Amino acid sequence: MMSYQRVRTQFAFGAADKLREEVDALIVFVREEELLSSQPEGWLHPQVDHLLRSYYAKSIFKAKPQETQVIPTFGFTAGSHAVFIGIGNPPYNTDHLRNAGAAAAKAVERLKAEHVQIRLPQDIVAGACGCDAGQAAQAITEGFLLWLHKRLPRKREHNRRHAVQSVTLLPGSGEPKDSETFRDAWTSGVARGILFAEATGYARDLTNMPGNSLNPQGLAEEAIRLAKRLGLECEIIDESAAAEQGMGSLLAVGQGSKNPPRMIVMEYQGAPEREEVWGLIGKGITFDSGGLSIKKSDEMENMMLDMGGAAAVLGAMHIIGAERPAVNVVAVIPAAENMPSDRSYKPGDVLTTMSGRTIEVIDTDAEGRIVLADAMTTAIRRGATKLIDVATLTYAVIVAFDDHITGAVSNNEVLQQQVLEAGRRTGERIWALPTDDYYFKKLESDAADLKNFDKSSGDAIVAGLFIGVFAEGMPWVHLDIGGTGWLSEDRGCVRKGGTGVMVRTLAELIVSGQ
């Protein structure tokens, strides 16, 4: 059973003169140029302002991006502490503001504050700093809440995330012109930030679930719960129905486990009169031992992360179902365990996929592309006209980009650019990989239509092109989150463990691009 803790922090955008007596911490976003000014903010007590400026003069605090300085207020102003967060100087993009929000959350977490005010420079409030007011509001809210969402260890003594009860975002002083317009933009931006952070946290919790708690049937049941909550259609194709429909690749990967595979299909219709249907496909290998081509033991303990693509798709559907955009979406998740046993599929086997194409198995640890073959065909048969698959697919993408950037392979430049732009807006970096004819030759097989692995280099590209064969020429983008789907240490607004990467990019692409 999923143990996801929903975001319950109350976020609001308030008037500049609002002051809560119950504030535990006052967060102030500070530009370096403000500290060079001889005119202090009128709402900040002179004693606190003087102390901050003395820190700047002594180079203790320079207001560099994400730099933090905590100063006791000594009762001169609201809260026991004022926390100054450096944001550099404008212009800012949403990444700057998202990371500033995360820096604020880190300080709040250390202080164990429950009621927080965040004071913002006027140009950020007025949307005159490089991004508009709604984008700024969403980014700060996302960064704050994404940082607070960390993996919960399963211990005898129950451990909970730090709970911030309320956050009020306020202009530093005065109100910008046309304040009602900006207030509306900030209110809607905050609401969107909460939704995007909540959906990403949901995907993180799914990815972090250990393999003994989440098998293919468990993932299917979670999809049913999500669909029911959002009012979406959901169908679970079990092993018998999969056999009837010819899903030979999904069944082969899952046959080594006592937990049979499932094909999960979720549908949202927001524009039934349109023929265009987005197809979102997420790899759902709930545990990957490598099968008979077994992994090294020191590479296996985190292999529950191999359903990070499925988690991303479910997280995106969380947002789509809540926002109800005028689009149509079919989400498909091939769920299986890749385990070694006397029933396992073997190197040298030839599999027949749902599309009728055959696959020569070279390496059973290259199972993700195999199950995605049947998932792509399933999405197309359910009406998908353009496709995006998300998968923790290869180690090669880590060699290329470490855990910093998601690799993309596509057959359509227009769709690929739309995906890359959505990633830029959400701060989830994506890099397009080449698709020269040279790489297609690595798919050639003497025994079947194509092989699932080539022992030479370039597997991040070749694996993507393998999946693209099953796009049937429709616009398609593959996103390899083999590196970005899991972090071994905290970074920016992302805690270590499952990252929920691509939830916000997929949602931004589909909800904002409608």
The rounded Cα 460 to chain-centroid distance in angstroms is 20
Q: 216 in helix, strand or coil?
A: helix
Q: Cβ(222)–Cβ(174) under 8 Å?
A: no
Q: Which of 369, 386, 442, 495 is catalytic?
A: 369
The token pair at 99 is 């990371």
Q: Is the dihedral of CA 119, 199, 288, 357 positive or negative?
A: negative
Cα gap 353→470, rounded to integer Å: 10
The rounded Cα 31 to chain-centroid distance in angstroms is 29
Residue 123's Cβ-count burial label (10 Å; 0-12, 13-18, 19+) is: middle
CA-to-CA separations, 404 to 142, 158, 469, 489, 492, in angstroms, rounded? 19, 32, 27, 12, 11
CA-to-CA separations, 153 to 156, 159, 257, 286, 486, in angstroms, rounded? 10, 7, 27, 19, 16
First-last CA distance in the chain:
34
Q: Which of 53, 110, 295, 381 is catalytic?
A: 295
Q: Is 160 a known active-site residue?
A: no
Please count the other Cβ atoms lying within 10 Å of the Cβ belonging to residue 64: 10
Please count the other Cβ atoms lying within 10 Å of the Cβ belonging to residue 71: 18
Q: Which residue has the tokens 């955009």?
A: 325
The token pair at 78 is 């609201």
Nearest to 347 by CA among 358, 368, 361, 367: 361
Q: Is 258 a known active-site residue?
A: no
Q: Cβ(48)–Cβ(105) under 8 Å?
A: no
Cα gap 384→375, rounded to integer Å: 11
Q: Is the dihedral of CA 233, 237, 241, 246 positive or negative?
A: positive
Reported for 431-438, long-range contacts at CB under 8 A and 24+ positions apart, including other chains, are 431/401, 431/405, 431/406, 431/407, 432/408, 433/400, 433/407, 433/408, 433/409, 433/460, 433/461, 433/464, 434/461, 435/409, 435/410, 435/411, 435/461, 435/464, 435/465
Cα gap 373→387, rounded to integer Å: 12
Which residues, listed in sequence order, are joined to residue 120 by a DSSP beta bridge?
A: 171
For residue 42, the one-letter residue type is G
Residues assigned a catalytic role: 295, 369
